[in-house]
Structures are given as C-alpha cells and as structure tokens.
Structure 1
Amino acid sequence: MMKHLFVLIICGLCLATPLSAQSNKLIKELENKRGTLQRQIAETESLLKNTKKDVGSQLNSLAVLTGQIEERKRYILAMNNDVELIDRELKSVEQQLGALRRDLREKKKKYESSVQYLYKNKSIEEKLMFIFSAKDLSQTYRRLRYVREYATYQRIQGEEIVKKQEQVTAKRNELKQVKAAKVTLLNDRESEKAKLEAQEKDKRTLVGNLQKMQKGLQQEISKKRREANQLNARIDKLIAEEIERARKRAEEEARQEARREAEARKKTEGGARPSAKETKGGKRDDSEAERASTGARKKAEPLESYSMSKADRELSSSFINNRGRLPMPISGAYIITSRYGEYAVEGLRNVKLDNKGIDIQGKPGAQARALFDGKVAAVFQLNGLFNILIRHGNYISVYCNLSSASVKSGDMVSTKQNIGQVFSDGSDNGRTVLHFQLRREKEKLNPEPWLNR
C-alpha cells in the first residue's frame, strides 16, 4: 500500500510539469517570414510606373510586371506552406488538449475517491483508533506515517487538479490563437490571389499592346541582343585573361613548392652519405644537383593540373559552402525582372530572351554590393557604363550597368561591400537595373540558387 502511495505521489509530481506551448513561437516565425516577403512586394510595386507607349518602355514594364507576378506567386506559395504548418500545429494542440482533459478527469476521479475515504474516516478518534490499535510499536509508527503521507497525497492531488485545470485553460486559449491565425492567413491569401489575378490581367493587356507592335518589338529585341552579345564578349575575354593569370600563379606556386622539396631532399641526402660524384676540388657535380631538382619538380607536377593557388582553393571552398546564403548583389528593395537562361516571353510570338545572368531592378540610388569576399579582377567601361568582375577563388561574379565604380582592379573586397552605384535611366522614369552574372571559370551559372531570397 505504501509503495503504491509513493508511486501515485511521484506520478502526480511528474504530471505537474507545465507543458511548453510552441504555437505562439511558430506563428510569430511564420508571420515574420511572410512579413519580409510582403514588404518586398510592397516596396517593388512602385517600380512599375512607366506611362510611355514606346516598345522599349512597354517591354520593360512587362519585365517588371512579370517579376512582380513571380514574387506574388512565391508569397502565395509561402502562405500555402504556412497553412499546412498551422494545420499540423492545430491538430497537435487539439491532441494535447484532449490528453490534458483526460488527465484532468482521472485526477478528479482519484481526488474524489480520496475525499470519500477521508469523509468515511474523518474523526480524530477513528484515526487514533487506527494508529493505537496496532499490535506493536513498529506497526504504530508505520500507521502514523501512513496517515500523514495520505494527507500529503490528498493535498498534492488537490494542487495537481488546480495546475492541470490551468494547463487545460492555457491550451484552450492556445487553440483559439492558432485557429485565429489560420483564419487571418486564409483571408490574406485570398487577398493576395485577387491582387495576383489583377496583375495577370494587366500583363495580358500589356502583351496585347506589344503584339500590335510586332515589328518594333523585334527591332527592340535585336537591339538588346546585340548589346548583350557585345557585353558578354568583353566579359568572356576578361575572364579568360583572369583564368590564365590564375593558372600562372598556381604554376609558379607549384614550382616553388617543388624547388623547396628538392632542396630539402638534397640536404637530407647530403647529410646521410657523401656524394658519389665529386670534382677534383672536392665539390659535388652541379649537373647531379640539377637533375635531382628537375626530378623532384617533375614528380610534383604536371603543372597543367594546377589551375588555382592554395588561397584560391580555400576561397572557392568557402564560396561553395555559402551556396543559397549569399546576399543579393543590390542594396534596398529589388525585383528580378529577367531570369537566367533562354526562354520565350509568354504571350509574344517569336520573342526569345537569352540571359547569361539575371536582371535585378532596384530603386534609384541603389548600390551594387560584392557577393562575397574576393579580389577585383577587372573594372571596364562599355557604352559609358562601368562593369566589375570579382574573383572568389575559381568563381567570378560580374556586376554590370553601373554609373560609377568605387573599386579598382586588384582591390580586395568583403561581403556586402558597396562597389559602385547602379545606373538610373533618367529617360525611362529612373529605371535602375543591375545585370548580374556568376561564373565558375568560363562556365556560366544560374545565380538564383546561390542567393539568399
């Protein structure tokens, strides 16, 4: 009986541990993430303000509108994911509430039994008779302790019921909050869907206008393609030159390493035994030393296997490890208006774009920012605008369409460092677009999977 009593008391104490509610934290985290996306969309809505009717401006407006639609779709997708998370949390809270209610009923039942027992044996005389009717002193002591412990057990049970009731109330409130958060989220999602539908309608109107100007549209696309080809040819040439410089640095580093190894081997062999060939003056034949050095160097090479120095290899490894976490290469609010690769413009016949990077539109005054730590490989001007290449090991980031550059070739830069101001076109309502590319040596990469968005 005593053993069972102790088990009940210990169980009661364990059940008294308050349940940690994570729902509010989860809801806050989801709201913060959505808030970032929502602010991003709100800030970029002001970018679509072209009123010109010429082909170039309308095509630019289409790019911005398409980018905004993609952002809103991404936001709605995030909301859908949040609804699923809240549904799971809702189910979990309901299960917890059910368990608490069952536990509370069990505790009340046990407490009711103990109260009934005490009521039947409530008089002091009965308790004293129970204690002093023991056969010996040892049994008397055990009965006395039992009476005290039962009283303590009853008190703990009463306290446990109060605590459990508080937990049930708290969990019920938590359930209400989660349900309210879901209702709010669903309402917001419907609102965003309505905005998305309106934007897609505007896009269809814009596409219809451009279809009527097919000849001018093809001329504008051809012009943009020529400018892009000119820019990419210059970038390719500079990257090839940078790769060659890096290869020569790596080769020189390998030669120096081979020379050090040969000299160390020469010293070791010289200390171990006398030279097999000596001149009459007692000097070692220089030709043998040269052969030893050459053999060690050949063993350490072939040099064509070296394309990066040790420092470049370490920087490349660090760059790769930050894939998906690299900052946007533009300051302030932004929207991606043209994505990587070759693709047809939806709704327009025979209109294909081939982007070697991505176009990021920001607000006037936006700064281009270094994607990662690295060294400025080149700064050049084309058509009056600045373009910057930064080397991060065997990765190279390219920043184009800048009105000014605040770095020069050979400068070391750090992550998020401003490197120049993005050009704002005064003739096109201050349109501010950074063209950004990412290369692994000569290989062109899609920058988006590398960026933290």
Structure 2
Amino acid sequence: MKPYAFRFQFLTNTLVGSFLGFRSLLLGICLVFSVTVSWAQQSPVSREQLEKEKKENLQRIKEAQRILSETSSRRESSIGQLNAINEQIQARESLIQSISQELELLATQINELGGVIVALEEDLVNLKEEYAHMVYATSKTSNSYNRLTFLFSAETFNQLFRRIKYMQQYSQARKNQVNQIQKVRETLINQRETIESKRLEQQVLLDQQVIANQDLIALKTKQRALIRDLSQKEKQLRKEVAKRRNDVQRLERLIAKLIKEEIEESAKNKTENAVALNTSKEELSTSFASKKSKLLWPVNSGFISQRFGNNPHPVMKNILVPNDGVDIQTNQNAQVKAVFDGVVIAITPIPGPGNSKAIIMQHGEYFTVYSRLKDVNVRKGQAVRAEEPVGMVYTDSDGISALQFQIWHNQQKLNPEPWLQRR
C-alpha cells in the first residue's frame, strides 16, 4: 500500500472511530434519560405523592394531639382520649409506611444512578483513548509539507476533492471528540452530585423513620395503659353503651319521623323548600348526588372517631356500638358548617341528658343531620349555603367534642364517609 493511501485509510478509520465515540456518548445520555423515565414509570407511587401523604399524616397527628390535650384536661381516662390516641397511632403507622416507601424509591434510584456513573466512566476512558490516537496520528502529519504532499499526490481531481473533505472532517472530528469528552465529564459530575444529594435525603428519611418508630412505641404504651384503666370500669362502660344504643334508636325514630313529615308535606302542598335557593328539587338532588366523595367536611379539623354501622367497642370485646352516621371528634367550640346548599327543615333537642341539639337540612331528596350541637345559628325554613356556619359543637362531661353527622336519601340512611372529600 502507498504511504499516502495508508494515511487516507488511517483518516477514514479515525473518522469511523470518532463516530463510534459519539455513539458511545449518545448511549450514555440515553441511559441517563432512560433511568429518569424509569423512575417515573416503574414506581407505583411518586415522591411527590409520598411527600403529600407525609404532610397529611403529620397534620392528622397534630390535630389528634390537640384534641387529646383538650380531652385529657377533664379526666384521667376516657374513650375520647383512647379515640385520639388510636387516631395518632394510625397516622404514625401511615407516616412510617410512607417513609419506608420513599426509602425504597431512593434506594432504587441510587442503584440505577450507580450503574449510570459506571457506564459514563467507561465512556470517558474510551473517548480519551480515541482522542489520544487522533492526536498521535495528527502529530505524524502535522507539517504543511506532508499535508500538501498528501493532497497533490491525488491521481484525479475527484480524489483530491475527497482528500480535502476528509481532512476537513478529520479536523472537525477532533473538535467533536473534545466536546464529547467535556459533555461526558459534565454529565458524570452532575450524576455524582445527584447521587450524593439522594444519599443525604436517604439519611434524613432514616432519621425521620427512627423518630416516628420511637413515637409509635410510646403511643402504643400509652394506649395499653389507657385500655387497662378503662377495663377496670367495665360496669360503667356497659351502662354507657346501653345508653348509647337507646339514644341512637330514639334519635333515629325522631329524624325518620321529621323527614317523613317533610316529604308528605311537600307532596301534599306541591311546594318545595328548594325554591328558597332558586333551584328545583330535582336539580338540587342531582347536584348533591354528584358531590359524592367531594362533600365539604362539617368541621375544619378533627377525625372520624366512630364509623357508620356497628362498631367494635374500643375496650370491651364482643360489644358493638351502633351509629347511624359518623362521629367526628374535634376541638372544643368548633364551628359546624353546612356541607351543601340546603334548607333547614328542623331544629330539635337530642334525646338524653345534656342540652345538645340537632339540625336537619334538606337538599332535594337528600337530607343531612348535624347532631350534638350546643349552639345553633340558623332557624327553621332558612336557606343555607355551603360552608355557612349552622352551630357550635357540644362538649360532654368527659371533655369529648364530637359532632354526629348523618346523610339520608329520603328515608334511607347512608354511610357519610364515602361522601366526604379526602383530607
């Protein structure tokens, strides 16, 4: 092979090598991108969702602690205290689960980033070797005489033109190789910084997990002690359950009677309370039904301490406590608000001791009941808008401030929990 033909072939090989180096860089960048996409696609829960859940659980813990402090000021042991502690335990367990999921997510990301860094380091070594070969080859043909000799030894004009183009491409290939090396270096630095940042986040989460576990252990110890104290008052607790059943039955009959009378009165006179809200009964019913899972909460803060239906007693085994709605344990003097536009059809005293009251509001074919109020801000027949205050929650002798909230569809009791928006 002629010397210049050899150089021509060498230039061709160098350009091919440069292309392979560029391909290597491209593969490295694609790998970084694919890892980022995989975090979004493979993870069942995103970091943003887990952070949101953490904030929600921390808010639940804060509210339950405030309610517990108020309840504890009245007596040493009560069901209200136990409800607040149980709520804190559930929130702590959810918080720990969110932290664990976030730690798993970070561990996966760190492992994948480690693989990216290894691949980028290999690319950098390969690119540097290719560049060294190019520099070495250039040094052999660096003087003007050799370049001119190489060009003018061409046998045809077309061959001369191709050699000029190859020399231009060779010069550009060297510049590209330098740019590729710099890009890989920058990407590698960024990935190393990212992995270090995620390791710091991981350590913060581990610290949070340790504190949350310690708090959970302390709460469960307090829960066991409270249950032990309450168990010694079984006779008193049984009386309270019997009274609760009696009160629930009496209130249920009263609400059913008032709703039935309102339905009959509306049918008899062909009048609709919904007129006060400038809408028809059918439209109001449809609008209320569309709000399932989106209804406002009747109080700003608090938690569901007793759910719809028959609930296991928190202390006594094999004892069920009935509920026609949900009990929302909240702060003393908490303001109670209407959950939807409606009309007040009744304000009635609640059967049993105490001076608490109940408000019944109509929303077309639907009715909402706000029970255990100490003060009422509305009157019968008044049109009320959503979020408008209707009263203030009642606090019993045990220091428990719990609103009883019910939803009825005509004369059918509904579980209010699926209707309320997630908090």
Smaller-chain TM-score bracket: 0.7 to 0.9
Match of 1:92 among 75, 90, 112: 112
Deviations 1:55-91 (Å, cap 9, x if unpaired)?
Answer: xx61222222222222222222322332333333333
Match of 1:400 among 371, 374, 386: 371
Partner of 1:364: 332
Partner of 2:201: 181
182-191 vs 311-320, greater mean Cα deviation: 311-320
- Secondary structure in structure 1 of the residue aligned to 2:290: helix
Alpha-carbon RMSD = 3.8
Match of 2:67 among 40, 43, 47: 47
The 5-angstrom pairing of residues 23-42 of structure 1 reads: 27=47, 30-42=50-62
The 5-angstrom pairing of residues 223-372 of structure 1 reads: 223-241=243-261, 311-312=283-284, 314-315=286-287, 318-320=290-292, 323=293, 325-332=294-301, 334-371=302-339
The normalised TM-score by structure 1 is: 0.72
Asked if residue 154 in structure 1 is aligned to residue 174 in structure 2, the reply is yes
Asked if residue 143 in structure 1 is aligned to residue 163 in structure 2, the reply is yes
Distance in 2 (CA, whole Å) between partners of 1:144 and 1:250 is 98
Partner of 1:168: 188
| Greater relative contact order (CA < 8 Å, ≥ 6 in sequence) | 2
Deviations 1:379-414 (Å, cap 9, x if unpaired)?
Answer: 423244343445566554433223344455462523
Asked if residue 425 in structure 1 is aligned to residue 392 in structure 2, the reply is no
The one-letter code of the counterpart of 1:44 is A
Aligned residues: 388
The normalised TM-score by structure 2 is: 0.76
Contact 1:376 1:388 in 2 (8 A): no
Contact 2:128 2:181 in 1 (8 A): yes
The one-letter code of the counterpart of 2:90 is E
Question: Structure 1's 381 and 346: CA in aligned 2 closer, same or farther, altered over 3 A?
Answer: closer
Distance in 2 (CA, whole Å) between partners of 1:195 and 1:420 is 38
**In the TM superposition, what is the alpha-carbon distance from 1:151 to its structure 2 partner?**
1.5
Partner of 1:64: 84
Match of 2:358 among 387, 406, 414: 387
Distance in 2 (CA, whole Å) between partners of 1:443 and 1:179 is 55
Gaps of 5+ in 2: 1-11, 41-45, 273-279
**In the TM superposition, what is the alpha-carbon distance from 1:427 to its structure 2 partner?**
4.9
Question: Structure 1's 357 and 52: CA in aligned 2 closer, same or farther, altered over 3 A?
Answer: same
The alignment-based identity, stated in percent, is 26
Distance in 1 (CA, whole Å) between partners of 2:119 and 2:410 is 60
Gaps of 5+ in 1: 253-307
Distance in 1 (CA, whole Å) between partners of 2:119 and 2:265 is 69
**In the TM superposition, what is the alpha-carbon distance from 1:375 to its structure 2 partner?**
2.4
Distance in 2 (CA, whole Å) between partners of 1:188 and 1:51 is 30
Distance in 1 (CA, whole Å) between partners of 2:154 and 2:81 is 98
**In the TM superposition, what is the alpha-carbon distance from 1:41 to its structure 2 partner?**
0.8
Contact 1:242 1:377 in 2 (8 A): no
Distance in 2 (CA, whole Å) between partners of 1:434 and 1:389 is 13
Distance in 2 (CA, whole Å) between partners of 1:129 and 1:398 is 101
Match of 1:73 among 69, 93, 98: 93
**In the TM superposition, what is the alpha-carbon distance from 1:204 to its structure 2 partner?**
1.6
**In the TM superposition, what is the alpha-carbon distance from 1:45 to its structure 2 partner?**
0.8
Contact 1:16 1:163 in 2 (8 A): no
Contact 1:104 1:165 in 2 (8 A): yes
Partner of 2:415: 446
Partner of 2:405: 436
Distance in 2 (CA, whole Å) between partners of 1:53 and 1:310 is 49
Contact 2:356 2:374 in 1 (8 A): yes
- Secondary structure in structure 2 of the residue aligned to 1:425: coil
